[in-house]
Amino acid sequence: MVAFAVIVRDSDAGKRAALAAKLAPVCRARHILLLIANDPALASRVRADGVHLSEAALARRAVGAGAMRPRRSRGLVTAAAHSFPALLRADRRGVDAVLLSPVFPTLSHPGARTIGALRFAALVHALRCHGGSAQVMALGGVNAKNAARLVRAGAAGLAAIGALL
């Protein structure tokens, strides 16, 4: 099954709320999942499908027992991770999926240390060896040329910013 999602991220709460309000009906009409970054209250207000947590937000808050889930019982929780400890923490906190990044060089984070496809595969494997069950998605420099390689490396999904522009 192929699913598409939009994550609304903006450090300005007002801009984030306005964007979420505009995108919510569009996403619903097109059967696209809508996740709101770090704001379960806003996710509930706009009837989003869930929340996406930054690595820092996940470190500060519990996910289980509905602590970060929107009031809708089936709300998704995804999280960002940039290392194995963060990946493991996200899984142990009960997130549904983790966006592991940056896999490849990306314009949104110039000069950032990348994971690469082989290390991505090793991190997914290590998570499974530790009993982890979260879906791991690849983010960062994902494009049509490397997508198949990432799926073979164990990516449950692909996330992109620049590749879509």
- Residue 84: Cβ within 10 Å count: 16
Whole-prediction pTM: 0.87
How many angstroms from the chain centroid is the CA of residue 119?
18
How far lies 27's CA from each of 8, 31, 119, 132, 143, in Å?
12, 6, 33, 30, 23
Q: Is residue 13 predicted with pLDDT exceeding 50?
A: yes
Q: Are 118 and 135 in contact (CB under 8 A)?
A: no
Rounded to a whole number of angstroms, the CA Rg of the chain reads 15
Q: Which amino acid is at 102?
A: P
| CA 161 to each of CA 49, 99, 142: distance values in angstroms, whole numbers, following the listed order | 20, 13, 8
- What is the tens place of the pLDDT at every residue in 91-145? 999 899 999 999 999 888 888 899 999 999 999 999 999 999 999 999 999 998 9
Q: What is the pLDDT of residue 2?
A: 60
Average pLDDT of span 134-163 = 91
Average pLDDT, the chain: 88
Tally of CB atoms within 10 A around 110? 7
Instruction: Classify strands 157-159 and 135-139 as parallel, antiparallel or unpaired.
Output: parallel
User: Cβ atoms within 10 A of the Cβ of 106, count?
Assistant: 20
In this structure, of 60-69, 111-120, 153-162, the range with the lowest mean pLDDT score is: 60-69
Residues ≥6 apart with Cβ < 8 Å to 152: 121
Q: Which residue has the higher pLDDT, 61 or 134?
A: 134
